[in-house]
Structures are given as structure tokens and as C-alpha cells.
Chains A and B, each alone.
Chain A
Amino acid sequence: MSVLIIAEHDNKSLKPATLNTVTAATQIDADVHVLVVGFECQTVVEQAAQVSGVTKVLVADNAAYEHQLAENVSKLVVDVAAGYGHILAPATTTGKNTLPRVAALLNVAQLSDVIKVESADTFVRPIYAGNAIATVKTTDAVKVLTIRTTGFDAAASTGGSAERQVLSQVITSDRSRFVKEQLAESDRPELTAASVIISGGRGMGNGDNFKLLEGVADKLGAAIGASRAAVDAGFVPNDLQVGQTGKTVAPDLYIAVGISGAIQHLAGMKDSKVIVAINKDEDAPIFQVADYGLVADLFDAVPELEKSL
């Protein structure tokens, strides 16, 4: 049976997380449909139709869907769910917000943060902050899954030519109203899509010192991240948080600066290909997962690193 994916987008562009989800979907079934719910989101539809492996794009384009509120989007998904064996969304804050409602309305379970597809009914997902890996089997008629993007390669963004179907139903959300959004603006790559990340922790001392990381990030084309300790201390905003309850990342290179390496942080980055740790405490747990550890004062090492790149 076909797989339905709820696209991650901001009405302007399709987010890379969708591409990883397409790869997961193609491992379940060859017939992969993508649902684009939004407002004035035609560019997203064009992009989704070109993704390799996508056979059909469903479009619900209406002002009622502008902010992709969970209340009405979930009802729309349930409306079109008939005929699908699996419903997937990337495990982003949007997917995590909406998909459990879909599962509850369909009276089925949701499997969160799937990192591997064993078969059409058996999936692998981390539990206990990634300290245990569970394999689970579901006999639910519709299988609802959120996909951890780091578990799957991105599908090619071009090469496909999916047919399109416009959905006419308009479902409003009367008891939930969008008020405002404060989105971080940055020229750097998105954390979850970056191939290099440099993250700061409590050792950075304050928010101003994160500027030190910017120099290195500029040279490497890196995204900047942070540990929970740095976010809790107010050094940087929440959208930089990498960890069990923040973002999960797996770049080619992860540089942890002044981060001790709490379990919660490791849960979000230990699948990175190469990990570098710079910390003045040689007993910091981060060194146990780092491929290259440098015991040094970050305030000396980071400027030197910037110069030598």
C-alpha cells in the first residue's frame, strides 16, 4: 500500500527533512505520495514533485493552513488517510506536533523517531536518549511514524516528476490562533542539514563569547549549535540546542567546544561522523566519544583554530 508523507516546508521552500523522510518511505513501498499543506505554497509543490521517488503530490493550499496548525492539519490528513498503509512525517517540531493527533484520530499508535526500516511493519527507534535501541513491530492497519532524519540519507531533490492532486476540503481551526513567530535569521546552514557543526557549551561563559565560534563557522561553512546548559543559561536561543530534547544532528564534522558531554547532549550528536572536543577538563565525558580531543582553554584554542583553517 502507498505511503503518505506530510511535507515539511515554510510555504516558500521544501525543507531537507522531507527528503530524508522520502528515503525512509521508499524502503517501505515504492508508491510514495507527499502531502503539502500550506498557503500560497506552489513553489513547495513544484519542489516536492521533482523529488526522486515521489509518485504523487497532494496539495491543500488555503489561508486556513498558512501556519500548519496541528488541529486542522491532523483532521485533513485523517480525511485523506484512506488507502494508505503508512503515514510519515519528519521528526521535526512540526511533525512531532501534528502526527500524534493523526494517530489518535485513527486510533492507532505512533512510532516516534524511527531510525531504520526493517520491513513494512518492523521499525527501529532509539529510547532512553539513545542509550537503548528498540526494534518494534506493529500490526496497526495504518502505521504512523515520525522519521529521525539523521537515520536516512536525503532523496535526490530532482529527477522525479510526480502527478499532482489538489485537495479542495478546507478545515478551519477555530480554537487555535497563530499570534506571532520569532524566527532566527541566519545565513548559516540549518543545524539539522549542516555538514559541519560547531557547538558551544557552558564553558563558553556567556552569549558574547559565542562570537568566537562564528569565525570558525565562517571558515568551515558550519552551523552553530549549543548544549542545553548553554541554552538554559541564556547564552543562546533554544533553536540552537542539540540533544535528547533539542535537535538530533549527524554532520560529517561536529566540533564540541566547552561542552562536558552530558548524556542528554550526546544523544543528539553521537552519530556524527567525526567528533572533535575542545575542553580544558581532561576528564570531561565528551572525550569518550570524541575522535580527536584537545585538552585546552577554548579561549586560546578556538582563535588559533580559526587562524589555522
Chain B
Amino acid sequence: MKILVSVKRVIDYNVKVRVKADHSAVDLTNVKMSMNPFCEIAVEEAIRLKEKGIATEVVAVSIGSKACQETLRTALALGADRAIQVEAEDGLDSLSVAKLIAKVAQDEAADLVIMGKQAIDSDNNQTGQMVAALLDYPQATFASEVLIENGEAQVTREIDGGLQTLAITLPAVVTTDLRLNEPRFASLPNIMKAKKKPLDVKTPADLGVEVGSNVSLVSVTPPPQRAGGIKVGSVTELVDKLKNEAKVVS
């Protein structure tokens, strides 16, 4: 079984986000970039399936400028067998990314596509579902457990009310939630080895995919700041404030 896992290079989750003064975008100059945390979980799941002998090959794919090769090298260091970069401008919209990933999945004849449920920059939570729709594959989003058996994936999903389990026929798309696994760290020898693993570069034209979007960004502004509150000295004072000042407790 072959697994395609997608990875996105995003602002590191520990970095404080700043909006540019002209409100055109978020300022990414000299900011630490990392693999999207949900993509790390996707890579980990793919590697575990390979370690269990269920998957035979793990291919990592990333859509973006040359810088995302670094993210692909991380995926290779973690255990992916080879990587594909689809060269495109950073910040391509989800539908274009989905079309590119869908085409790669088709060309690779991947049995399972594992993706993060959302990227922590655009917070869209949609690309995996779009890939599945474009390929007419079944999907299991927000996965917290994945079991592969008899050409089927039995996936437990984190939903608003609790957990739901679906059985989907492969080929299929799974998107990862936080509790699926705890990603490992790449060891130094593996980071060295990853430099020798194959990394192909393709363009959207190579894949026959036209990219573009009808959505334009008008402005990006900082969120309204909450005015700092006060410290209260005791529970009695707190209850008094809630009753008589904020009037949220009767």
C-alpha cells in the first residue's frame, strides 16, 4: 500500500504573529517557519503504518516555493521514502492546492492520502476534503485513530459531540486531528540520510493543473485587543465584581 502525505511550511506555532503596518498581510520576514503541526501528525501516522508493515512506501508532497523543500527534507528525515515539491507561489488557495495534490495522488496511485486537518496559518480546514471530492474518494476527517484492514480504513473521528467511527474503502483521504499520535523527532543520522533521499520538483503545468483563485485579500488587520482587566484579591471580591460590576451572575 502506498501512502501520500502532504506537508505545509507555515509560521512556527510558537511565533507571535504580527500584521504588516500597511495591513496587506501577516509579516513573515525573518520569522521562523516549520512544518504545520497537523502535517507532522500526518507524517507520523504514515510512517507508523509503514513500520507496522501495512504501507510499503510513503511519499511526501508539498506545494510552494523552493523553501518548502526544507519541510520535505524534514518529512524525509522523519521516515518518508521520497518527496515531491510542486513549485508554486506560496499562499496558493486551497482549491488549487487540492487540485495539485489530487493529481499527484492519482499519478502515484496512492491508496491512502493523509493530510493535516488544517494549517495553522490560513486555518481553513478544507484542503483534504477538497482532494477527496475531486477524486471522488471517501474521506475521514479529524482522525484520532486509524486502523487499516481488508482494503478499508476504520477511522475514529473527533466530532463536536464526541467520537464517530467510519469505515471507508481505499483509496481514501484521511485528515489528522491532535490526538492521532505524538510525532517523533528526527534523529541526526536520519537528517543526514534524508539529504540523499529523492526529491522531485514538478510544476503545475507538468501536472496539467491550472491554478488560480477568484478570491482576493482586501486587508489583514490585527484583532481588536482586549483591554487588560484587574486582579481581585479574594473569591469574595470576585463574586462581588461578577454580581455588581459585570452583572453576569445574579
Interface residues of A (CB under 8 A from B): 10, 67, 69-71, 74, 92-94, 96-105, 107-113, 122, 126-140, 173-184, 192, 196, 220, 228, 231-232, 237-239, 244-245, 247, 252-253, 263-264, 270, 273-276, 282, 287-296, 301, 304-305, 308-309
B159 to A: closest C-beta gap in Å? 4
Asked if B179 is at the interface of the complex by the 8 Å CB criterion, the answer is: yes
- Name 12 A/B residue pairs within 8 A (Cβ), A-sorted: A93-B142, A100-B125, A100-B133, A110-B130, A111-B215, A126-B223, A137-B218, A176-B166, A196-B248, A282-B231, A291-B230, A301-B235
Q: Is A109 in contact with B133, judged by CB distance below 8 angstroms?
A: no
On chain A, the residues within 8 Å of B59 by CB distance are none
Q: Indicate if B222 sits at the interface (CB-CB under 8 A).
A: yes
Q: Bound complex: CA of A252 vs CA of B94, how far in Å? A: 35
Answer whether residue B236 sits at the interface, using C-beta atoms and an 8 A cutoff. Answer: yes
B177 contacts the other chain (Cβ, under 8 Å)?
Answer: yes
The reply on B45 being an interface residue by CB < 8 A is no
Of the listed residues A101, A244, A293, the one surrounded by the most CB atoms of chain B closer than 10 A to its CB is A101
How far, in angstroms, from A169 to B214 measured CA to CA in the complex?
A: 31
A-B contact count (CB 8 A): 259
| Nearest residue, chain B, Cβ from A296 | B235
Interface membership of B120, Cβ < 8 A: yes
Candidates B139, B157, B163, B235; contact of A308 at CB < 8 Å: B235
Q: Total interface residues on B, using CB and 8 Å?
A: 80
- Interface of B with A (CB < 8 Å)? 11, 13, 16-17, 19, 26, 38, 93-95, 98, 117-118, 120-134, 137-142, 144, 154, 157-169, 172, 177-179, 213-223, 226, 228-232, 234-236, 238-239, 241-242, 246, 248-249
- A139, B226: Cβ atoms closer than 8 Å: no
**Which B residue's beta carbon lies closest to that of A305?**
B235
Q: A94 — which chain B residues lie within 8 A by C-beta?
A: 159-160
**Complex alpha-carbon distance, A133 and B177, angstroms:** 24
A181 with B215: CB separation less than 8 A: no
